[in-house]
Amino acid sequence: MVDGTEMKDETKNYVTVAGIDCGTNSIRLKVSRVYGDTTVEDVVPRVLRVIRLGQDVDKTHRFADDALQRAYEAAREFAGILKEHPVDGLRFVATSATRDAENRKDFEDGIESILGVRPEVIPGTEEASLSFLGAIGSVPRTGLEAPYLVVDLGGGSTEMVMGGDGKSAPATSVQSAFSMNIGSVRMTERHLHTDPPTETEIAEASGDIDRHIDEAFEHIPAGKTRTIIGVSGSVTTMTALALGLKEYDHRSVDGVRVSYEDIFRVNNRFLRMTRAERSMYKTIHPGRIDVVGGGALIWNRILVKVSEAAQRDHGTPIDSFISSDHGLLDGIVLDYGTRLLKKK
C-alpha cells in the first residue's frame, strides 16, 4: 500500500482513493472520494475484467504464463485510468489464487512495475472482514434482522462473516469469520469436468463443499443467522437470472431479497446446462460461462446448510437471502480512505 502525493487543499474533508481487488477469476478497480463521515462518492465506478488469474492454480500451485499476461494487460488498462484520475492513494489487494501460487513474486513484481504499488496478499480473515464492511455499509438494513451472515463467494475462496446481534454486540461489527478454500473456479476445475457436469460429478463436488462448510461452522455460529447477505459475481449473476433480467444490471440485483425457491430453481437449471446453452444468456458475463455452475452449486449448499443450522439453533429456518452488488472492493476503498483521512 502506498500513499499518493500530498493534498494541496488541507481544508477538504475527503480523500480520493483507488482500490483494486484481484481475485481468482476477475480483477476490479474503483476510484472514490471518501469523506470524514465515511460517505463514499464514486469517481470511477467499478471497472471489471475477467482474467482467470487462478487458472489451474488448484492443480499446479503456480500462475500460468498466459494468466499473468492477462493480469498485466488489465493492470496497464487500470494505470491509464488512474493517470486520468489522480488519487491520494492506491491499495491493490490480492486474494485466494495469489495466496496459493508458488510463483506469486513474479506476479507481485510485474504489477508493481506497472502500477507502482505492490499487491498486498491478504489472509482470508482480512478478506472476510473487508467484504463484511463493504456489504453492510451499502445494504439498507431497515427491516433486516440481525445477526447478519455475509457470504462472499469468489473464484478460489468463499468467506463467511458473522456480525453481532445488535444487542450484546453491534450488528455492524464482525464477531467471527472464516475463509473456505472453495470457489466457482476451484470447484469447476476440481470436479465439474464434463459439459454438462454429470450427476456423479455434482455429488462429489457437493460432498467436498459440505465438508468445507462444516469446518466453517466450527468457527462461526451459523445457527444464529437471521439474515444472509450474498455478495460476489456468482451470487449477483444467479440473482439476475432468478429475476428474469435479460442483461445484467447491478442496480436491479443490489439489495433485493430472493427466495430460496427462486434461486434453487435457477441454480439447479444452470448448473446442468452446457456451456453453449449458458452463453445464450447475456446476463452471464462471458468470463463466467464455464464456472457459474460451480458457483451456483456452492451457493445452493451454503443456503441449505445455514438454514438447517438456523432451524436447529432457534427453530426458524431461513427461506430467502439479500443480494448485494457491494463487497470486498467497497470495503477496500472505505477502509483505506478512512485510514488516510485519520493521517491528515
Q: Where are the alpha helices (DSSP H) in the chain?
A: 57-60, 65-84, 96-100, 104-115, 124-136, 184-190, 199-217, 233-242, 250-253, 260-271, 275-278, 292-314, 328-343
| Structural contact between residues 49 and 27, judged by C-beta atoms closer than 8 angstroms | yes
Judging by DSSP bridges, how do beta strands 320-324 and 257-259 pair with one another? antiparallel
Would you state the pLDDT for residue 1? 35
Would you state the pLDDT for residue 20? 97
Residue 103 CB-half CA count within 13 A: 14
Would you state the pLDDT for residue 3? 39
> What does the pLDDT profile of the chain (344 residues) look like in tens digits?
343 333 334 456 899 999 999 998 899 999 999 998 778 899 998 899 999 999 998 899 999 999 999 999 999 999 999 999 999 999 999 987 788 899 999 999 999 999 999 999 988 888 889 989 989 877 776 678 999 999 999 999 999 999 999 899 998 899 999 999 999 999 999 999 999 999 999 999 999 999 999 999 999 999 999 999 999 999 999 999 999 999 999 999 999 999 999 999 999 999 999 999 999 999 999 999 999 999 999 999 999 999 999 999 988 889 999 999 999 999 999 999 999 998 87
Would you state the pLDDT for residue 10? 46
> pTM, whole model, 2 decimals?
0.90
As given in the structure block, the three cell numbers for residue 304 are: 441449505
Provide CB contacts within 8 A for 49, sequence distance 6+. Answer: 26, 27, 28, 74, 77
Q: Which amino acid is at 144?
A: L
Question: What are the extents of the domains in the chain?
Answer: 2-122+329-343, 139-325
Would you state the pLDDT for residue 142? 65
Output the CATH code of domain 139-325.
Answer: 3.30.420.150
As given in the structure block, the three cell numbers for residue 307 are: 438454514
CA dihedral 306, 311, 315, 318 (to 10 degrees): 50
The C-alpha cell 455460529 sits at 221
Classified as helix, coil or strand, 310 is helix
Q: How far is CA 12 from the centre of its chain?
A: 32
The reply to whether 139-325 shares the fold of 2-122+329-343 is: yes
Fold type of domain 2-122+329-343? Nucleotidyltransferase; domain 5 (3.30.420)
